[in-house]
């Protein structure tokens, strides 16, 4: 889902409108997940993170790199078109201190050249072909336009997408690229994209340096081999001091680890998950997002989990926590959700959309009368909109 889609309004049918109070809500994803184990972000994290607590974020890994040459404008644009919430950008620094989008420390794998990025000038790197290799390795996805495309600079990416996209940026090899963090922050400030950026790194030193210079930017600690068992708590305590989340290798975690991360109020975005069964497993564990080369594939999996029954579990939980003004509020919301659940079982799509429209109108009423927080409204609206999208 692109930023523009997230900001769009889906208007439903008019129905009885009553009051609700402000609540911290999440996107409806799964009816059999223990809700109390999956909604733990602090208010500080809510302010830093770009999406309502509970939304499963879809990170287009190196762009939609399963469909187009990684770290090119083509892959980034395709990542947005295929419902990626973020375009992920790995950074390397050239000999003349320019930040470019490239995963490896050398240009060998993804261009027709050879040599280390730090040993080449931007002009030299701009002479390289960054797309022909993809055509050779993926003949079924080959396109003539990929031949001869350039390696983009971070500045060019910002110029192209501006504030209409969300960026998930990694400082790669900061130990051999001194000054990388300062240049990254300079560009973020120049292009006014501070509200659209998450920065990640395997280097805690790099993240802590960024945090010391600008604590408003959300940070994620990458973990190739996260500590499991007793060591988990000490590691997460340290990470929580400067980051809002962790990005572990999916192959090295389990459901227990995910739940522990959530209990610490941290987001968890494992990498790199391309198989649908693994995507389903990750959601069942309670991840708050993941990295994938196929954002279209993950979007399909997320959509599978949209259901009225999950939203109803959330409403019931918020009622128990005293987040609604009176019982009539809960009754009215549950009336819509009960009907939707029935029509989902009957596969009557028009009725599902109709009753979710009524649910949506209740939310609009609360917003218009300033009876619900912005974050709670956005969260519930995302739940309603996604269910409408599923059945509409």
Pair 357, 11: CB distance under 8 Å:
yes
From the list 61, 71, 267, 360, the catalytic residue is: 61
Q: In terms of Cα–Cα distance, which of 34, 31, 79 is closest to 57?
A: 79
The one-character DSSP state at 13 is -
Cβ count near 160 (within 10 Å)? 13
Rounded CA Rg of the chain: 22
Question: What is the C-alpha separation between 325 and 329, in angstroms, rounded?
Answer: 7
For residue 145, what are its two tokens? 């336009």
Which residue in the block uniquely carries the two structure tokens 């979007």?
299
Catalytic residue among 103, 267, 299, 360: 103
342 among known catalytic residues: no
User: Residue 378 to residues 4, 6, 26, 367, 387: CA-CA distances in angstroms?
Assistant: 14, 9, 9, 10, 14
Helices marked H in the chain? 3-7, 43-48, 73-81, 122-126, 132-137, 154-161, 180-190, 204-213, 231-240, 255-263, 276-285, 295-304, 308-320, 327-345, 349-368, 374-391
**Does 61 qualify as catalytic in the annotation?**
yes
User: What gap in Å lies between CA 324 and CA 334, rounded to an integer?
Assistant: 13
Could you tell me which of 328, 384, 327, 386 has the C-alpha nearest to residue 356?
384
- Look up residue 373 and give its two tokens: 């927080």
Determine how many CB atoms are found less than 10 A away from the CB of residue 127. 13
Q: Using the structure block, give the residue that is written with the tokens 């490239």.
A: 102
State how far the Cα of 183 lies from the Cα of 287, in Å rounded to an integer. Answer: 31
Please count the other Cβ atoms lying within 10 Å of the Cβ belonging to residue 328: 13
Per-position b or e across 318-327, b if 16+ CB within 10 A of its CB:
bbeeebbeee
d(CA 371, CA 170): 39
From the CB of residue 148, how many other CB atoms can be counted at a distance below 10 Å? Answer: 12
Active-site positions read 61, 103
């Amino acid at each position: 889902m692109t930023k523009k889609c997230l900001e769009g309004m889906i208007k439903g049918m008019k129905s009885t409108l009553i009051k609700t109070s402000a609540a911290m809500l999440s996107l409806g994803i799964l009816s059999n997940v223990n809700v109390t184990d999956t909604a733990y972000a602090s208010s500080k994290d809510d302010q830093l993170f770009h999406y309502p607590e509970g939304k499963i974020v879809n990170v287009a890994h190196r762009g939609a790199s399963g469909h187009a040459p990684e770290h090119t404008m083509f892959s980034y644009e395709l990542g947005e078109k295929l419902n990626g919430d973020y375009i992920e950008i790995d950074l390397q620094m050239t000999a003349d201190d320019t930040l470019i989008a490239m995963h490896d420390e050398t240009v060998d794998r993804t261009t027709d050249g050879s040599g280390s990025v730090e040993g080449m000038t931007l002009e030299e790197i701009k002479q390289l072909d960054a797309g022909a290799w993809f055509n050779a390795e993926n003949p079924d996805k080959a396109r003539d336009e990929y031949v001869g495309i350039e390696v983009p600079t971070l500045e060019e990416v910002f110029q192209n997408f501006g504030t209409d996209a969300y960026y998930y940026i990694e400082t790669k090899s900061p130990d051999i690229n001194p000054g990388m963090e300062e240049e990254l922050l300079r560009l973020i400030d120049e292009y006014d994209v501070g509200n659209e950026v998450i920065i990640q790194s395997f280097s805690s030193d790099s993240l802590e340096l960024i945090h010391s210079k600008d604590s408003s930017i959300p940070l994620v600690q990458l973990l190739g081999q996260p500590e499991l068992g007793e060591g988990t708590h000490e590691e997460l305590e340290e990470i929580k001091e400067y980051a809002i989340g962790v990005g572990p290798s999916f192959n090295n975690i389990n459901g227990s680890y995910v739940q522990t991360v959530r209990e610490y109020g941290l987001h968890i975005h494992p990498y790199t998950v391309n198989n649908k069964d693994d995507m389903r497993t990750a959601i069942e564990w309670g991840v708050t997002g993941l990295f994938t080369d196929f954002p279209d594939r993950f979007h399909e999996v997320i959509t599978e989990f949209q259901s009225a029954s999950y939203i109803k579990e959330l409403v019931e939980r918020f009622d128990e926590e005293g987040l609604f003004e009176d019982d009539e509020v809960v009754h009215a919301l549950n009336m819509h959700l009960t009907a939707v659940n029935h029509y989902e079982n009957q596969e009557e799509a028009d009725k599902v959309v109709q009753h979710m429209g009524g649910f949506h109108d209740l939310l609009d009423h609360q917003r218009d009368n300033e009876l619900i927080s912005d974050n709670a409204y956005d969260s519930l609206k995302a739940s309603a909109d996604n269910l409408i999208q599923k059945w509409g």
